Amino acid sequence: MIGKIMTGKSFGGCLNYCLHDKIADEKKNEVVMKDRAEVILFNQCFGNDKELIQQFNEVRQLNPRLSKPVLHVTLSLSQGEYLPAYKLAEMAQDCAQDLGFSNNQFVAILHKDTAHPHIHIVANRIGFDGKTVSDSHNYQKIAKLCRKQELKHELKQVLSPNAFLPKELRNYQRMDVRKQKLQANIKHCIANSKNYYEFEQKMKALKYDVIKMRGIAFRDQQKVYTKGSEIGYSLATIEKVLGQNQELKIEQQKQKIQNGFGNSSKPERNSDNRIEKQILNTIPSGLNILLKHNLEGGGGDDSSISEEQKRRKKHKHRH
């Protein structure tokens, strides 16, 4: 069993669709199936299509600011399953109770023009007290209702309800998966980019078109267009995170430099020793003695020069 829930603006359009035969060709006035619709439950309302529309519209005036007062629920059995009309009416009452409109106007209609029997419930979101039935978390509410009804009426448990949805609704689940993949790719590209240009190039490498104007949007290989704001990555958010990444990298570089200076005193001293030895090995012996004497803390004493001069004079006289 699967369920679908929508909100709308017009009671006339919704009730006319649910209560009348479906027309295949307007010009020839050909119907898909004669007497396809059967009302199985009235709640706080009565009469034919015109009377119902009038009653629903009168109550909607209690909250004229609400633009979408129509609540339209479809509950479909799996192909080959069957429940009598009174059981389906009971299911409609359970639906009204679980979704919070049991005290409001609603009508349940059985449709018999498809391979899987299904009911339409048209309800007024506005109650006689002027309060409005919430439309938040509708997907979770209807899914929970279906699982309960499957157990209550011993119906087939539908683990993959997507297969029973109309073609135009089967993309919803894929869209969720597509958005999750896009989110993951954006997160990865931001984490590995230094600036916006790099981010955009990485997204393009993943086969996304990036559309940047006042905001940002992405188009995947299937040409599905998704705004960044729809998945938590507006242009402002992306630029902010990229800026934070850059600041963090600069801070990490500073920390590395500071840590390097703090731990390099001993290697620097060894390096100095090697340089001193290279200098001592490449200069004349007399200067070598002087430089060595100064490097070792000999100060300004010139006695070593005098001794060396004396030795040189003696050596000259001998020769």
246: Cβ contacts below 8 Å, ≥ 6 apart: 194, 195
Is 74 or 176 the better-scoring residue by pLDDT?
Answer: 74
Number of domains in the chain: 3
Q: pLDDT grade, residue 275 (50/70/90)?
A: very low
129: Cβ contacts below 8 Å, ≥ 6 apart: 62
Cα-flanking dihedrals φ and ψ of residue 308, to 5°?
-65, -40
Q: pLDDT grade, residue 302 (50/70/90)?
A: very low
Q: Is pTM, for the whole model, over 0.75?
A: no
pLDDT exceeds cutoff 90 at 52: yes
Most confident of 51-65, 141-155, 209-223, 238-252: 51-65
194 and 275 together in one domain: no
56 and 114 together in one domain: yes
233 and 274 together in one domain: no
Single out the residue of 92, 109, 10, 11 nearest to residue 51, CA to CA.
11
4: tokens are 């679908």
For 285, the domain range is: 265-318
Task: Give me the percent of the chain exceeding a pLDDT of 70.
Answer: 72
Is 67 or 266 the better-scoring residue by pLDDT?
Answer: 67
Kindly report the CATH number assigned to the domain that includes residue 68.
3.30.930.30
| SS3 of residue 163 by DSSP | helix
